[in-house]
Structure formats: structure tokens, C-alpha cells
Chain A
Amino acid sequence: MDIDSDDEIPTLIEHPTTARTAARVPLTIICGFLGAGKSTLLKRILTERHGYRIAVIMNEFGDTADIESKAVNVSSPDDPAAEESEEILELANGCLCCSIKDSGAAAIEKLMQRKGAFDHILLETTGLADPGPIASIFWHNEEFAAGLGRDIVLDGVVCVVDAFFGTQQMEEDHSGSEDHIGESLKQIAGSDVVLLNKVDLVSPETLATVESLIQRVNPAAPIHRTVRGDVDLAHIMGIKAFSAPPPSLTPVPVPVSAPTPHNHNHGHGDHCDHDHADARDPNHYELRGISSLQVSCPVLSPARFDALDAWIRSVLWENRIPDPSPSSATSTSTDAEGKGETELLVLRCKGLIAMETGERYVLQGVRSMYDMIQVDNDKEGKGQDEDIDIAVSQVGKIVLIGKGLSEDVRRSLINAISGV
């Protein structure tokens, strides 16, 4: 690439095979609409000299990704026999490109056994895939970490959206899936970061429209504007979306880069939308059945924390809000299900919860799987993650993204956490 050689990052001394036993390899799932620029982004990562040993795994080889992988078209200089390369390409910058049909972690772990651990894994899904189930698999797989230095930890889900066609794609998204939610909306709903690509091709108005659409579907994900997939890798790698508090739920530092005419890496969602999004009626806008709901969460007593946990179990596992109260519980519980209202389905939830006792918890949920992990590590130094940096704020927040998030759901959640 055309990087001045003086600026080149020196090649790192290879360490993966001697990695500290506790090291875990972060994995980022990259999804995005067909043609949005995923392949361009990956080609960039595979060929640029960034100094990381990244494995790019194309999921579901032989399916849609087959076509897309051809577009990547990267050849390895030390691989003259293309026939023998099968589906693995090892690239000059130390990266590796591999196609894989199984979405499980075992194949990737085995690959690392052969090739040495990577610094990072990027898993590309097909343009039509809902990232939720794949994220669940890797998130669940973390429970099997063996401490061998090739354990995978889910870092986050990144969605690439076409700034030019994005609005149209979201609005016209039809789906034959059971839940009638279009795949493009599932991709945005399930993302931790959105890359809004091709921003150089659209007018400011179009850009504003598509950004506001994305934010309303997923208020928790920061949006980065890009041109030809040119993004600071720090925005998509090492984001710890499944262990750190969501960025839009915490006080955010001043953005590093001011918008330029090209708006590269403009961390839009980081600094201007997390507050007024809350003021707006979250149900005011609903895109093809998908909406989001944000609730401020007061400092909780242990009893309220348990009530919140029970509420989440009911909503995520049983797809219904808990029976209102003991007094009105005489009416049969089937009432809640049989109202003919839109079915309740949460695709993604995130939250930051502060306790009276001083602890803080991060709520993460993908579909029915969720976790509330304590993030206060500074006191005893035994927290989940060493570099979580939560600015002190007394109030927590809970964000749900999904279907059927009506005013009833909102009220029920508020009741659960406030003890009304």
C-alpha cells in the first residue's frame, strides 16, 4: 500500500506461539448488506501493514461468500501453487484468510493450533446473515476457555452499511424468516459498531437520514463514517463490546478527530446522540417492526437487582413481560400472551447497572442469552477486564432492541427496577 515507509509500523516480533497462557484471541463478527463494502474493508485489512496478525475467516464458504471471496482476490506471493492453497491464504503482512463453513469455534481453534494464535480474528458473515446466532455461539464458547492461548473471546459485531443504498435497504427490507424481521435490520440491531461506508457518494441530507435511521434502530452502537472501508482499526477491533459498558451509555470523551470533508472515522454516535435519544419517545419510531427502548436505571438495591434479573428472564426467555403484580395476578397468565399484540422479541440488549452497594454490572444480551457481569475491578483488581474505564455516573441505563417493545414493556421494566 501507499504508506510512507517511514511511517510503517515495525513488524512485530512473533509472539503468538509463546503467548501468555491467559491471552485470549478477540473475534469480531463483520456483517453488512450485500455490496456495502465488507470485501473492500477486508481487503484493506489483509493487505495493509498494520502490524497485527489477523485471521480473516469467511463464513459459509461455497455459499454467498464464495462470490464475495473472489472479489477479495488476494494472492499470496509465497504460494505459487494456488491449487494447493485450498481455502487458506497466508498473506505478506502476516494475515491469513480462510473460508470456513462451520460457524462454531472448534474449527478456528484448530486452525490456531496449526498456524499459531492470531492477534485478532475477523469473521465475515454472508450478506444475508443475521449475526445474532453466530455471536451467541462464540459468546457461549467463551465458557470453554481452556487457557491455552488460543481461546476465542467475542469482541464485538460490526455492521457495514452502504450510505447510498442503506435507507432504501432498511425500509424495503422484506424477510421470509419466521419473525418477519428483515436481515438488514437484524444486522443493525445486533451490531456494536456501525460502519457507514461510501459517505463520499451521498449528500449531507442522505447521510443524515440514514444515520438517524440507524440510530433509531440501534441507539447503543456508535456510527463511524468511512470511505472505501478506510477506518481506524481501533474502532472495530478490541472494542470489548461483550465485556465493557456500551460506549453510548457512558460519558464520552471528546472525539479524537474532528470531521473532515471526507469524514473519515467520524465517531458520530459517540458524542452527540446518547442523550436526546432518551428524551424522545422511543416507540415513536418503528422500522418494519423493529424498535428500541431505553430506560434510565436508578441505583438498585439487591432486591431490585433480582427483580430486574427476573424481568429480563421473562422477556428474553419467555418473550413476555412478567405478570403485572400479585393483586392482578388472578387473571390468567395467558392474558399476557394472548392479547394479539406484536410478539415480544429482544434481539439485543445492553445496560449499565449501578448498585447501592457500589458495584456496577454490565448487562449484555444476544437473543435469549444474557449475562450481567460485574465490572468494578479497580477495588480488588480481580475484575473481568483490566482496562474498563467507567466515568462515575450514578445512573445506569438499559437499552433493548427488538420487536414488540411497546409502552407496556417500558412501564413494566420501570416498575421492576423502581419497585412500584
Chain B
Amino acid sequence: MLNNDLNLRYRGKSFFNGPFGNFRAEPSAVSQKLHKAIHVLASGKLEDGTYNPFPDYAYTGPIRPVYPLSKTRIVPDHIPRPDYADDGKYQVLSQCAASDVVISGRPLSEVKRSGQPPRILTKEEQDKMRKACRLAREVLDIAASHVRPGITTDEIDEIFAHVSLYFEGYHADLNATYPVGEIDDDAKKLIRTARSCLDESIKICKPGALIRDIGKVIEPIARANGCSTVRTYTGHGINDLFHCSPNVPHYAKNKAVGTMKPGMVFTIEPMINFGSNWDEIHWPDNWTATTVDGKKSAQFEETLLITETGVEVLTAGKPFELP
């Protein structure tokens, strides 16, 4: 039933220009973080009533936000939601008051368990994760099936979609980058590299493998293809908490703590930038991340379960087709 609900939720193309709200502003049992979604190239006010809310911002690439955003969808009360859906359940952080920094808090539930070793899930919990992850994959595939030229301008040749799903108390997380129409060779290479970084790093996952070695697989692949690995986003443990230990860096020189053990669930989600600059910055919406040099970026993510003998990709879909 919820599955059908999801299908409805994601039908139609309106999701391509929103929502921008992060998951605090947009509490949703189906936390459809289609963030970093696609934005039509535009600036200034247009005849159709859309506008760029930050006209003075020094954009690093050709993409501009198009407001107004689609309305935040309200989740009906009968759908259980994670605790971070309530504003009150956030860590309260203040900031250096004279600076303009807003440090966004994390859900209290995540804060409470931070620093704890990764949780080993029971068989029952693993089944719930499996179910949530399968649903999330379905949502992403449906979204992807709507990707086609015409909904964007010529300047855009790839779109990024990210689905985070909360089902029966467990979270799933996955994302992918899709080509839109014909794309150039660089964009193809970038998307292939990002996918290959993820696939190769999944191959080393098994009991006894070290979390810190994941980035040692990813970064050399990125470099060999003239790309760089974004450092500020990492993979993460995921279970009844959306983000928890282990922390999974995608870069080689890291001090990540932890050995993989059966029953552990985490994501790997390397974000790969074209060129050597891995840094990213945020638009004033505090949500949209772009590369500092405006170059293209691609990302893939899967949620993984470490099994007794190896690894199970809980969010697995059809084999990736090279663009």
C-alpha cells in the first residue's frame, strides 16, 4: 500500500524543480531528498513568473535556481515518521554569534548514539532494511524513468536523483546520476567513473575488511580518470538511524575507524568531480551543493549489508548501463 502511495508521490515531473527543503524543513515519511535536483538555466525574473532568488550569488557553473519551488508535501498524520521530523528533536547548536554561520544540528537520536561502534543488525532487522531498500530502489527507478530531454535546457546533460526512504522504522538511502539525452564524452566518462568507483569499492566489502580501505579503492580510480573525490560527503551507517557509525570516507588518506562485520549496514556514495578540484560549496539556499569550479559532478550510492561471506547490495537494481 505504501508502495502505491510512493508511486503516486513521484509521478509527474514537478519534482525536478523541487523540493529544496532539507529534511528538517520537509518532514516526510518518504523523505524524498531530491536535493541537488535539477534547476533550469535561468536568471532574473522570467515571463512565466519564475525567478532566481539569489541573483547576486557568485554561481560557479551555468545552473541557476528557479523559484518558486514546488510546495512542500505534507505527510498525512497516520504515516509514522522518524524523530527528526519534529523540530524539537534536534541538537541545539549555537554559533559564533557575530559570524553568520548557522550550524545545523543533527537529530538528537543520532547525537545520542554518536561515537558508538556500528550496530550489528539482527536477522529481523536485516529483513526490514531489505524491504526499505527495495522500496527505495523502486522509487528511484520510477523517478529515473521520467528523465528525458525537454524538461531541461541544453546546458544540462545529467541529472542527479537521491532517494532516502523510511519504512517500518528503518532507513534506506541510494542515489544515482542519469544522462539526459545525448551527453558529451567527458560527461560519459565522469558518470562511468563514479559508478566504477562505487562498484569497485563494494567488491572489497566483507567481514574483516577495513572501512578506511574503501577510500583507498575509490580515489585512485577517480584520479586515473582525471577526476577527484569529494571529501565533505561520506558514506554512513544506516539502520533505525538515518546517519550513524561507521563514517565511510571516499578519499584515500583517512583515519576511519572500524572493521566490517556481518550484520553491519552502511552506504558508500562517492561523489566524483570532473577535474582535480574536490571542494564543493553551497548556494545560499543552504542545500544545493555545487563544485567550486562549476565543473560537472556525478554520484552513485548504494546501501550495503555485510553478510557472513561478503556483501549484499540491499538497494541493488538492474545492472548499470553505461551512458
Whether A317 lies near B96 (C-beta < 8 A) is no
**In the bound complex, how far is the Cα of B95 from the Cα of A111, in angstroms?**
10
Chain B 129-145 per-residue mask, 1 if CB under 8 angstroms from chain A, else 0 = 00000000000000000
Contact A98 to B93, CB < 8 A, known contacts A107-B103, A143-B231, A369-B257: no
Across the interface, A106 reaches (CB within 8 A) one of B98, B101, B210, B253, namely B101
Q: Report chain A residues within 8 Å CB of B249.
A: 143
Whether A86 lies near B97 (C-beta < 8 A) is yes
Please give me the residue from chain B that is nearest to A90 by CB atom: B98
Across the interface, B94 reaches (CB within 8 A) one of A85, A101, A110, A114, namely A101
**In the bound complex, how far is the Cα of B216 from the Cα of A203, in angstroms?**
55
Please give me the residue from chain B that is nearest to A319 by CB atom: B117
Q: Report chain B residues within 8 Å CB of A139.
A: 255
**In the bound complex, how far is the Cα of B202 from the Cα of A294, in angstroms?**
39
Whether A107 lies near B255 (C-beta < 8 A) is no
Determine if A281 is an interface residue (Cβ-Cβ < 8 Å).
Answer: no
Whether A107 lies near B231 (C-beta < 8 A) is no
Bin chain B's interface residue count. Answer: 20 to 34
**In the bound complex, how far is the Cα of B91 from the Cα of A102, in angstroms?**
11
Whether B99 lies near A110 (C-beta < 8 A) is yes
Determine if B7 is an interface residue (Cβ-Cβ < 8 Å).
Answer: no
Whether A144 lies near B231 (C-beta < 8 A) is yes
Chain A 88-125 per-residue mask, 1 if CB under 8 angstroms from chain B, else 0 = 10000000001111101011101100100000000000
Interface centre among B97, B98, B257 (most CB of A within 10 A): B98
Chain A 370-414 per-residue mask, 1 if CB under 8 angstroms from chain B, else 0 = 110000000000000000000000000000000000000000000
Please give me the residue from chain A that is nearest to B281 by CB atom: A146
Whole-angstrom distance between the Cβ of A109 and the nearest chain B Cβ: 9
Across the interface, B255 reaches (CB within 8 A) one of A61, A62, A104, A371, namely A371
Q: Report chain A residues within 8 Å CB of B251.
A: 143
Whether B255 lies near A88 (C-beta < 8 A) is no
Whether A143 lies near B101 (C-beta < 8 A) is no
Bin chain A's interface residue count. Answer: 20 to 34
**In the bound complex, how far is the Cα of B253 from the Cα of A108, in angstroms?**
23
Determine if A298 is an interface residue (Cβ-Cβ < 8 Å).
Answer: no
Whole-angstrom distance between the Cβ of A113 and the nearest chain B Cβ: 8
Determine if B3 is an interface residue (Cβ-Cβ < 8 Å).
Answer: no
**In the bound complex, how far is the Cα of B96 from the Cα of A110, in angstroms?**
9
Whole-angstrom distance between the Cβ of A34 and the nearest chain B Cβ: 23
Whether B255 lies near A143 (C-beta < 8 A) is yes
Determine if B125 is an interface residue (Cβ-Cβ < 8 Å).
Answer: no
Whether B255 lies near A87 (C-beta < 8 A) is no
Determine if A289 is an interface residue (Cβ-Cβ < 8 Å).
Answer: no
Whether B103 lies near A106 (C-beta < 8 A) is yes
Determine if B258 is an interface residue (Cβ-Cβ < 8 Å).
Answer: yes
**In the bound complex, how far is the Cα of B255 from the Cα of A139, in angstroms?**
9
Contact A368 to B257, CB < 8 A, known contacts A111-B96, A144-B231: yes
**In the bound complex, how far is the Cα of B94 from the Cα of A61, in angstroms?**
9
Whole-angstrom distance between the Cβ of A120 and the nearest chain B Cβ: 17
Across the interface, B103 reaches (CB within 8 A) one of A104, A313, A370, namely A104
Contact A143 to B259, CB < 8 A, known contacts A98-B96, A107-B99, A111-B96: no
Across the interface, B98 reaches (CB within 8 A) one of A98, A369, A371, namely A98
Whole-angstrom distance between the Cβ of A299 and the nearest chain B Cβ: 25
Contact A102 to B94, CB < 8 A, known contacts A110-B99, A143-B251, A144-B232: yes
Q: Which of B241-259 contact A (CB under 8 A)?
A: 249, 251, 253-255, 257-259
Q: Report chain B residues within 8 Å CB of A104.
A: 103
Whether B258 lies near A107 (C-beta < 8 A) is no
Whether A87 lies near B98 (C-beta < 8 A) is yes
**In the bound complex, how far is the Cα of B255 from the Cα of A370, in angstroms?**
6
Determine if A180 is an interface residue (Cβ-Cβ < 8 Å).
Answer: no
Across the interface, B258 reaches (CB within 8 A) one of A106, A146, A317, namely A317
Whole-angstrom distance between the Cβ of B63 and the nearest chain A Cβ: 22
Across the interface, A111 reaches (CB within 8 A) one of B99, B117, B279, namely B99
**In the bound complex, how far is the Cα of B99 from the Cα of A146, in angstroms?**
20
Chain A 265-297 per-residue mask, 1 if CB under 8 angstroms from chain B, else 0 = 000000000000000000000000000000000
Q: Report chain A residues within 8 Å CB of B231.
A: 143-144
Q: Which of A290-348 contact B (CB under 8 A)?
A: 313, 316-318
Whether A100 lies near B96 (C-beta < 8 A) is yes
Determine if B115 is an interface residue (Cβ-Cβ < 8 Å).
Answer: yes
Whether B258 lies near A140 (C-beta < 8 A) is no
**In the bound complex, how far is the Cα of B93 from the Cα of A139, in angstroms?**
21
Q: Which of A18-67 contact B (CB under 8 A)?
A: 61-62
Q: Report chain B residues within 8 Å CB of A61.
A: 94
Q: Report chain A residues within 8 Å CB of B253.
A: 143
Q: Which of A234-259 contact B (CB under 8 A)?
A: none
**In the bound complex, how far is the Cα of B99 from the Cα of A110, in angstroms?**
7
Whether B95 lies near A100 (C-beta < 8 A) is yes
The contact sample of 23 A-B pairs, CB cut-off 8 A, is A61-B94, A85-B98, A86-B97, A87-B97, A88-B96, A99-B96, A101-B93, A101-B94, A102-B94, A104-B103, A106-B101, A110-B96, A110-B101, A111-B96, A111-B99, A114-B100, A139-B255, A143-B253, A143-B255, A146-B279, A317-B259, A318-B259, A371-B255
Residues of B whose CB lies within 8 Å of any CB of A are: 93-101, 103, 115, 117, 210, 231-232, 249, 251, 253-255, 257-259, 279
Which 3 pairs show the lowest CB-CB distances between chains A and B? A101-B94, A88-B98, A110-B101
5 additional contacts (CB under 8 A) given A110-B99, A111-B99, A143-B254: A100-B96, A106-B101, A108-B96, A110-B96, A110-B101
Residues of A whose CB lies within 8 Å of any CB of B are: 61-62, 85-88, 98-102, 104, 106-108, 110-111, 114, 133, 139-140, 143-144, 146, 313, 316-318, 368-371
